């Protein structure tokens, strides 16, 4: 089985977008070139296990190019020698960074569904094999292979003469990061790596904000779950386990981005994460400033989830009654609303309402760890009610 | 080897022996239950008998096609009286006896007061693929 423990995997993944860029620049169409690079990666994972070539990038380019030519020849024979390289972007004197950025744009193109965009980004830019991506999303490999080839077919008729959509790319990476860790592939780390790659190609401060946001959340990862897999809420996390080097890096990146005075939602979210990272405990957290950042975030993008999280911050800054007032402005159907409502009522001393809402939150939880956590909260409050 | 589906119901199964809603347990009892479930699944992975396990949200609906070209009809959320599946585990075992043995163990997961819940699980054999040797 191929997995990321393979010593060659990190190098292969780093080289994948460069090799793809070379093939496309030589006139290969994106879809066929992408398949050829994937095939070369799979070959390398087998061949390099014995001996790594002296020039890994050259090896990959040669292998991928041969594979591309094989496919093109076979196709041109079938289709009456009609070479399909005509649809490829013209070769030109573009830098590697522009190539990479172009790849990100293509894989996150609005013509694709988000699931397809994430999968294609992981393969074409991330250099993961279809099998690895399938494992990460817990779907059969054949299903993932179809999802990727459908995505590439959807791109065939798209013209790439418009400026790319950086927001779409960042959204894809953000979703990838949020998938976190399941099975063999660490999607959160992969998203961070790809966001760093994006930052090398684009100096937009929101890209920096996205990296900072990821690093600051990634820093808490070890503290977020118990060894048994139960969730640990922020308030109860052992902050000594937070990764100081990730926090330091995240804060530094954010500071540079904010200094450019071009605020966006990722920078604002990263600022909130940085304030948490900076606090020795929940009680010593600068909640007033966190509320201000939530207000900023609402001005940038009024989203019910932001309002929901703001209600918790308001509770910590100004007390539970103020938090409940803020919660009243949040739509009833927002996911996790009952969980937040339960917490605010508990803080307000209304244990009966809190118990009922924690039970409701467990019922509505979108995943098993959250359901278990909310069930446990309900059990805890009911125990308090039985033995006051 | 034969595959069996162990089905757990939110509603519709006969009442378990110790029928106390989970939010009325102590937090420690909740933890012990979760730990039992995790240990059970990883033990079956160890014996090579685990295939899959999934939980379902209690939300859902009935759907059927309507008139030609129209949107499908939906009916839901489910009425309280409806039999409602909570989740499943698929096992691949040597015999029906082994499937029953494992379902029995799973049903003895600890609940309120640390006592086994003795909940009813539905055990369903899979229809298998046709055999290669037929005569």
Q: Which residues contact B28 (CB under 8 A, 6 or more apart)?
A: none
H or E segment and range at residue B123: strand B122-125
| Predicted local distance difference test score (pLDDT) of residue A92 | 44
Q: Which residues of chain A fall short of a pLDDT of 50? A: 1-5, 81-94
Q: Which residues contact A22 (CB under 8 A, 6 or more apart)?
A: A61
Q: Which residues of A touch B57 (CB under 8 A)?
A: 366
The closest CB to that of A378, out of B23, B34, B57, belongs to: B23
**B84-93 and B2-11 as β-strands: parallel, antiparallel, unpaired?**
antiparallel
Interchain CB distance below 8 Å, A228 and B38: yes
Q: In terms of CA atoms, which chain B residue is nearest residue A371? A: B57
- Distance CA(A66)–CA(A84), nearest Å, equals 16
Interchain CB distance below 8 Å, B34 and A228: yes
Per the structure block, which two tokens stand in for B37? 């479930």
Q: What's CA A147's distance to the chain center, in Å?
A: 18
Q: Rounded to 10 degrees, what is the CA torsion of A300, A304, A308, A313?
A: 10
Interchain CB distance below 8 Å, A372 and B29: no
Q: Which residues of B touch A376 (CB under 8 A)?
A: 27, 30-31
**B84-93 and B50-55 as β-strands: parallel, antiparallel, unpaired?**
antiparallel
In order, the DSSP letters of A225-290 are: B-TTS-B--GGGS-GGGS-HHHHHHHHHHHHHHHHT----HHHHHHHHHHHHHH-SSSTTS-HHHH
Q: Which residues contact A190 (CB under 8 A, 6 or more apart)?
A: A122, A126, A128, A176
Q: Which residues of chain B fall short of a pLDDT of 70? A: 81
Cβ neighbour number for residue A7 with a 10 Å cutoff: 9
Going from the C-alpha of A360 to that of each of A183, A339, A342, A356, B31, the distances in angstroms are 30, 8, 9, 6, 19
Query: Helices then strands (H, E): number in chain B?
Result: 2, 6
Q: In terms of CA atoms, which chain A residue is nearest residue B31? A: A376
Beta-carbon-side half-sphere exposure of residue A298 (alpha carbons within 13 Å): 17
Q: In terms of CA atoms, which chain B residue is nearest residue A374? A: B23
- Distance CA(A263)–CA(A319), nearest Å, equals 29
The closest CB to that of B23, out of A364, A366, A382, belongs to: A382
- Distance CA(A24)–CA(A43), nearest Å, equals 20
H or E segment and range at residue A223: helix A221-224
What phi-psi label fits residue A336: left (phi over 0), alpha (psi between -120 and 50 degrees) or beta? left
In order, the DSSP letters of A47-109 are: HTTT---SSHHHHHHHHHHHHHHHHHHHHHHHTTS--GGGGSPPP----HHHHHHHHHHHHT-
- Distance CA(A112)–CA(A275), nearest Å, equals 36
Q: Which residues of B touch A368 (CB under 8 A)?
A: 55
| Predicted local distance difference test score (pLDDT) of residue A137 | 86
Cβ neighbour number for residue A350 with a 10 Å cutoff: 16
The complex scores an ipTM of: 0.88
Contact between A133 and A18 under an 8 Å Cβ cutoff? The reply is no
Cβ neighbour number for residue A90 with a 10 Å cutoff: 7
Q: Helix, strand, coil proportions of chain B in percent (round to 5)? A: 30, 30, 45
pTM, two decimals, is 0.87
The closest CB to that of B27, out of A363, A368, A376, belongs to: A376
Peptide bond into A374 cis (omega under 30): no
Cβ neighbour number for residue A88 with a 10 Å cutoff: 20
Interchain CB distance below 8 Å, A383 and B26: yes
φ, ψ of residue A206 in degrees (nearest 5): -70, -30
């Amino acid at each position: 089985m191929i997995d990321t423990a393979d010593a060659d995997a990190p190098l292969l993944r780093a080289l994948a977008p460069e090799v793809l860029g070379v093939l496309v620049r030589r006139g290969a169409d994106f879809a066929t070139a992408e398949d050829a690079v994937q095939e070369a990666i799979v070959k390398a994972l087998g061949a390099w296990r014995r001996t790594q070539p002296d020039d890994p990038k050259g090896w990959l380019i040669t292998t991928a190019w041969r594979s591309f030519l094989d496919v093109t020849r076979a196709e041109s024979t079938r289709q009456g020698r009609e070479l399909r390289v005509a649809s490829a972007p013209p070769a030109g004197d573009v830098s590697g960074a522009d190539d990479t950025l172009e790849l990100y744009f293509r894989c996150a193109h609005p013509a694709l569904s988000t699931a397809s965009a994430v999968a294609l980004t992981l393969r074409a830019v991330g250099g993961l094999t279809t099998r690895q991506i399938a494992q990460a999303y817990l779907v059969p490999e054949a299903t993932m292979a179809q999802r990727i080839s459908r995505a590439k077919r959807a791109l065939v008729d798209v013209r790439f003469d418009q400026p790319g959509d950086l927001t779409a790319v960042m959204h894809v990476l953000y979703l990838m990061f949020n998938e976190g860790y399941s099975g063999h592939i660490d999607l959160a780390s992969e998203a961070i790596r790809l966001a760093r790659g994006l930052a090398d190609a684009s100096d937009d401060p929101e890209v920096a904000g996205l990296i900072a946001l990821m690093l600051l959340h990634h820093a808490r990862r070890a503290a977020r779950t118990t060894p048994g897999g139960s969730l640990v809420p922020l308030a109860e996390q052992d902050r000594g386990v937070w990764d100081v080097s990730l926090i330091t890096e995240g804060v530094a990146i954010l500071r540079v981005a904010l200094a450019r005075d071009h605020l966006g939602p990722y920078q604002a979210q990263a600022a909130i994460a940085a304030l948490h990272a900076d606090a020795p405990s929940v009680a010593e957290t600068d909640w007033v400033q966190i509320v201000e950042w939530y207000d900023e975030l609402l001005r940038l993008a009024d989203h019910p989830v932001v309002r929901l999280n703001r209600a918790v911050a308001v509770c910590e800054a100004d007390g539970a009654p103020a938090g409940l007032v803020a919660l009243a402005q949040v739509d009833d159907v927002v996911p996790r609303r009952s969980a937040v409502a339960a917490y605010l009522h508990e803080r307000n001393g209304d244990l009966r309402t809190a118990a009922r809402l924690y039970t409701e939150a467990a019922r509505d939880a979108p995943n098993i760890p959250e359901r278990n956590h909310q069930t446990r909260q309900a059990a805890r409050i009911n125990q308090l009610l039985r033995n006051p | 080897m034969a595959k069996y589906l162990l089905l757990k119901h939110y509603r519709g199964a006969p009442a378990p022996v110790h029928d106390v809603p989970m939010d009325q347990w102590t937090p420690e009892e909740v933890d012990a239950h979760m730990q039992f479930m995790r240990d059970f699944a990883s033990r079956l992975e160890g014996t090579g008998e685990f295939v899959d396990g999934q939980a379902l949200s209690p939300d859902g609906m009935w759907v059927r096609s309507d008139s030609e070209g129209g949107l499908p009809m939906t009916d839901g959320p489910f009425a309280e009286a409806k039999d409602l599946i909570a989740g499943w585990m698929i096992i691949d075992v040597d015999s029906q006896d082994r499937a029953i043995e494992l379902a029995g163990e799973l049903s003895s997961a600890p609940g309120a007061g640390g006592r086994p819940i003795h909940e009813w699980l539905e055990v369903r054999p899979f229809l298998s693929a046709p055999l290669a040797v037929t005569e």
